[in-house]
Every structure is written in C-alpha cells, then in structure tokens.
Amino acid sequence: MSEVPPTHSAKRINVGCGSSPTLGWLNFDNSPSLRLSRLPLLCRLAGLLGLLNARQRDYVQFCRRHQIHWADATRHLPVRSQSLEVLYSSHMLEHLDPTEAVLFLREARRVLMPGGLLRLVVPDVSLWIADYLSHGNLDHFLTRSMFCIPNPRGFRARLAFALTGSRHHLWGYDAKSLCDLLQRQGFVEVQVMPAGNTHIIEPGALNLREREEESLYVEARAPDL
C-alpha cells in the first residue's frame, strides 16, 4: 500500500473514522463497506440480492462522497514514521482484541513524532455497569455492550456478513484499564480528559464531544527519543 504524503493537512489523522471523518485531516477506516464502495458493480449486485441493509447502503454512499482511505491500523498506517502531530481514534479500539489493540498502539507510536498526541475515545464500560446496577437487566446490558452478537444464520446472512463484516465489540475499557494500557505501550503524560477538552492545538473541525453520553476520552503523548 502506497504511503500518503505527509502534507500539512496530513499531519493529523483520524483512524477508524466511520461516518465521522474530520475535515482537513486524513481519514482512515477498515470497513468492508468502504472497499465495497470502490466496487460499484459488486455493490449493485449486493443491493439487488438484498445483502445490504439500509445502514450499510447509506455508508457505502457516504464513502463515495467523502475522501476516506482504507487502512488496517493493526498492520500498517500508510504514513511515514514520526510524521504526525496528532492521531485521533474514536470508538475503534473496542473493536480490536487485546493483541490487536497492542499492535495498533505500536503503529500509533511509529507514526507519531516525538511528543505527538494520541487522543482515544472509547465506550466507558463503567457507565454500562452503573446503568446495569441501577436496573438489573442483563439483557439490556449485553445488548448495549455489543459483546454478544448473534451469529448470522442462513446462506444470505452469512454472505452479507462476509461482504460487510461485523461491528461487535471485542474488548472494553474504563479509565484505569485504558490508561494502564497506554502506559505499558510507552506513552507518556496519559490523562483522562473531560468532554470538550483537549491538548490538541487548534483542533479545528474535530468533534471533542463525540458520543459524549457514553464515552471516555484519554490523551497521551509519544515519548521523546
């Protein structure tokens, strides 16, 4: 995969942007729907066969209208080492298992310049637990946590899964576990941030309150060499 030149606008990237790319930044995602959006004939066939639901069809159209680059952040981000000021990722880390999360954070350290800022946003599991303790409904907890997603049943459902993938959660974090993970991977100045607050200088169009009602915000810096 060719690397994206680190122009001024490319010094800040949004990884796992989904349907929330940041204007003026480089935006990456690994959704199968993103790849499908580049294959109009296959996409049309999938639509005719009823393999795409309304949300997936909307995201395919969204990808066609916006410049989002495909990348697997656990393997390689197509930017040069130590070229980035800021790496932002919102509601992506929980879709990685613990081994993949470490691989992603190693890649984040590779592309961030010394002192570069990492800002992560994840669902705050402590909020789910507090909600569960208030009403005691395990079905509601499991549905909200997205840890348990029914397996696709039938040929058409399995084919749709192969085309578009699953977005269930593979891990969860609270403030202590996420901060500990970042420190173990060599990040420094790890800090939980209130919604709306950041150490990013001139964050521009970045949404500092993304999914505020359910989110934990943590920032950290790549160590100086």
User: 3-state SS string over 153-196?
Assistant: CCHHHHHHHHHHCCCCCCCCECHHHHHHHHHHCCCEEEEECCCC
- Residue 151 is predicted with a pLDDT of 63
* Cα separation, 103 vs 162, whole angstroms: 24
Closest CA to 86 of 184, 198, 1: 198
Q: Which helix (H) or strand (E) holds 104?
A: helix 98-111
Overall CATH class of domain 9-124+154-221: alpha beta
Task: List, for residues 39-75, the tens digit of each pLDDT value.
Answer: 667 666 766 666 667 777 777 777 778 889 999 999 9
- Residue 32 is predicted with a pLDDT of 74
Q: Which phi and psi angles does 116 have, rounded to 5°?
A: -65, 155
- Residue 79 is predicted with a pLDDT of 94
Given CA atoms 74, 79, 85, 91 in this order, what sign does their dihedral have?
Answer: negative
- Residue 130 is predicted with a pLDDT of 95
Stated pTM of the model: 0.85
- Residue 159 is predicted with a pLDDT of 55
- Residue 1 is predicted with a pLDDT of 47
The torsion defined by the Cα of 154, 155, 157 and 161, in degrees rounded to 10, comes to 130
Domain edges within the chain = 9-124+154-221
- Residue 48 is predicted with a pLDDT of 64
pLDDT under 50 in the chain at which residues? 1-2, 5-9
